[in-house]
């Protein structure tokens, strides 16, 4: 608290008030995506920000609900329980999924397993968010056209089929109002892009839409013209929902699935966004501390009628641009939400659903990143494939299937890198002691009678066969090339500087290589093995097999020793 004195009250309150003005319409809108009462969205912007302000490490992250996780929760739990037929059970399972999310996030933070989040690569997140945004935009056509019946499925085909099969429910009045709201929101985004200092125009635009929509709906009796409104919103702060958690074996599978998937997505989004804005200020955030903070706020949130929250990009960007200096912005936002819940909540009951649809569509259009996808296509075709698998999987199958397919493809790529590690032949650069890849540096030349190879990855059971065959192939090719010049290969030097670890199968592979070379009359030496590798080679008595004199500190030392041996043998032959 001692550092707060150097900032004015305006520095501390303006960011919080600004993000609160965005949190109100977003809270109502995203709750609608999750098929839960709108008031739950407002509850979720009150308690979780207070928890994050205590445990979080980011000064700029603004806590709130997010569209992707809202839709994931709605689609996964909606497959098991209908939010229309059994709304209480459905809501209880949403709270249960949020609790499971919090437990998993907290456990990952305490166990320092943030590496699991890294499996959600940048390509996967880009494709997933783009596919999710596409689906969400299409789903908002329900509100734009004023439809009363709609599908619970989240794929493009089902959504479009529902929209066109219910053409008799389309209301032009709702469409006109929605287009006006959407055009206004997009215009404010355009103003923000052209003049970043006017970020507040885009920040308050959703609140303007809600306020204008409420006045329009109230005075024009919008419901009589087919424009649906949010409905009753009661005053009062979050009621306790601890007893509402449902662990019935009949339904727990849906809550577990929703909790685990959304936990990973929320962590990836929240931590990535927190790090991005911290870098802009040359600051660091603790990833494990962030996971614990997210976990605690979701656990506490599940006890106080909140559903999943994380660090959304839109709120965080506005918080940053508003001059946020500390996590106090979340506290100010929570106080604003408390006042809204206590005194203003009923005023938002006249919010037209078409206005919420316009707010969601405007936010989602910014998540379809065409330029990033094109950049991936130009720079890395495999990353582009991962991105497209996520995009089309989410858009045409389901969100969880699309995410899993993309993650699976990314893991497959990583396994291919492990199973097919880089190996290269080294040569010396003229007038230097540097040894470099002869393919990258064609001017690098080898030493007659000595073959220097570099291994660039850990040696595990999954790549042992490939490494052994690759070494033998290098030797065969080198012998075929040198025999024509009359220079036989007498020494093979393996540079192990890039081998960070080795398992027992890897040790056995090196023994096989050693014996194979020994049978050909070729001696094998090892250069610069790392500590962990050297300990494993020593414990398995491999060093005793090859001899300590064949373990070298550098390639230069190894080549000089082997060259001396070559010269000695030639002198002996001459004698």
In order, the DSSP letters of 357-369 are HHHHHHHHHTT--
Contact 280/59 with Cβ under 8 angstroms? no
pLDDT digits (tens, 9 = 90+) for 38-91: 999 999 999 999 999 999 988 889 999 998 899 899 989 998 999 988 999 999
pLDDT, one tens digit for every residue, the chain (575 residues) = 444 444 555 556 777 888 888 888 989 989 988 999 999 999 999 999 999 999 998 888 999 999 889 989 998 999 899 998 899 999 999 999 999 999 999 999 999 887 777 777 888 888 988 888 899 899 888 888 888 888 777 789 988 998 899 888 888 888 999 999 999 999 998 888 888 887 778 888 898 999 999 999 888 888 777 788 888 888 899 999 999 999 999 999 999 999 999 999 898 888 888 877 887 778 878 888 999 999 999 999 999 999 999 988 778 887 887 777 788 889 999 999 999 999 988 989 888 989 989 998 988 887 788 899 999 999 999 999 999 999 999 899 888 888 889 989 988 988 888 888 888 999 998 888 889 999 899 888 888 889 999 998 899 898 999 999 999 999 988 888 766 555 678 899 999 998 999 999 999 999 999 999 999 889 999 999 999 999 999 999 999 988 899 999 999 999 988 888 764 444 434 43
Query: Which of helix, strand or coil describes residue 378?
Result: helix
Residue 478 CB coordination number (10 Å): 19
Q: Residue 306: phi, psi to the nearest 5? A: -115, 155
The reported pLDDT for the residue numbered 12 is 61
pTM: 0.79
If you search the block for the tokens 């936002």, which residue do you land on?
Answer: 333
Opening angle at CA 550, ends 454 and 430, nearest 5: 50
Residue 554 CB coordination number (10 Å): 14
The reported pLDDT for the residue numbered 153 is 77
First-last CA distance in the chain: 86
Contact 346/235 with Cβ under 8 angstroms? yes
Pairing assessment for the beta strands 491-495 and 423-428 based on DSSP bridges: unpaired
Please state, for a pLDDT cut of 70, what percent of the chain lies above it: 95
If you search the block for the tokens 């600004």, which residue do you land on?
Answer: 18
């Amino acid at each position: 608290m001692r550092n707060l004195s150097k900032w004015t009250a305006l520095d501390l309150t303006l960011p919080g008030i600004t993000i609160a003005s965005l949190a109100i319409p977003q809270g109502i809108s995203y709750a609608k995506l999750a098929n839960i009462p709108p008031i739950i969205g407002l509850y979720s912007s009150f308690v979780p920000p207070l928890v994050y302000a205590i445990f979080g490490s980011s000064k700029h992250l603004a806590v709130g609900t997010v569209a992707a996780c809202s839709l994931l929760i709605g689609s996964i739990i909606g497959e098991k329980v209908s939010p229309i037929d059994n709304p209480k059970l459905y809501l209880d399972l949403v709270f249960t999924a949020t609790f499971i999310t919090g437990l998993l996030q907290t456990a990952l933070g305490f166990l320092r397993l943030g590496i699991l989040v890294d499996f959600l690569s940048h390509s996967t997140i880009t494709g997933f968010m783009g596919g999710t945004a596409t689906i969400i935009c299409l789903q908002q056509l329900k509100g734009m056209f004023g439809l009363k019946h709609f599908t619970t499925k989240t794929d493009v085909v089902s959504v479009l089929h529902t929209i066109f099969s219910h053409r008799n429910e389309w209301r032009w009045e709702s469409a006109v109002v929605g287009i006006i709201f959407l055009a206004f929101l997009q215009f404010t985004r355009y103003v923000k892009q052209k003049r970043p200092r006017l970020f507040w125009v885009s920040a308050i635009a959703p609140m303007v839409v809600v306020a204008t929509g409420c006045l329009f709906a109230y005075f024009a009796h919008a419901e009589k013209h087919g424009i649906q409104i949010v409905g009753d919103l009661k005053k009062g702060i979050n009621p306790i929902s601890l007893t509402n958690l449902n662990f019935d074996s009949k339904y727990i599978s849906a809550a577990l699935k929703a909790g685990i998937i959304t936990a990973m997505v929320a962590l990836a989004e929240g931590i990535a966004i927190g790090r991005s804005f911290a870098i802009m200020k040359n600051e660091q955030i603790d990833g494990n501390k962030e996971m614990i903070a997210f976990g605690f706020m979701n656990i506490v949130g599940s006890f106080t009628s909140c559903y999943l929250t994380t660090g959304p990009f839109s709120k965080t960007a506005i918080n940053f641009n508003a001059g946020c200096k500390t996590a106090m912005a979340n506290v100010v936002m929570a106080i604003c939400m408390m006042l809204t819940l206590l005194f203003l909540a009923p005023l938002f009951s006249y919010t037209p659903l078409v206005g919420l649809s316009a707010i969601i569509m405007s936010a989602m259009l910014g998540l379809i990143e065409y330029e990033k996808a094109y950049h991936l296509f130009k720079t890395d075709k495999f990353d582009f494939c991962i991105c497209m698998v996520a995009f089309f999987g989410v858009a045409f199958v389901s969100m969880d299937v699309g995410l899993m397919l993309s993650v699976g493809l990314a893991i497959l790529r990583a396994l291919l890198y492990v199973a097919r590690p880089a190996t290269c032949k080294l040569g010396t650069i003229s007038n230097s002691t540097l040894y470099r890849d002869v393919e990258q540096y064609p001017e690098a030349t080898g030493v007659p009678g000595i073959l220097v190879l570099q291994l660039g990855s850990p040696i595990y059971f999954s790549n042992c066969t490939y490494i052994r065959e690759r070494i033998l192939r290098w030797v065969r090719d080198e012998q075929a090339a040198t025999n024509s010049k009359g220079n036989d290969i007498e020494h093979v030097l393996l540079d192990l500087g890039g081998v960070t670890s080795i398992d027992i199968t890897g040790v056995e592979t090196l023994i096989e290589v050693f014996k194979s070379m020994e049978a050909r009359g070729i001696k094998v030496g090892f250069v610069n093995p790392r500590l962990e590798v050297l300990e494993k080679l020593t414990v398995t008595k491999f060093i005793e097999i090859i001899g300590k004199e064949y373990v070298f500190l550098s390639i230069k030392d190894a080549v000089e020793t082997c060259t001396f041996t070559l010269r000695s043998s030639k002198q002996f032959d001459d004698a």
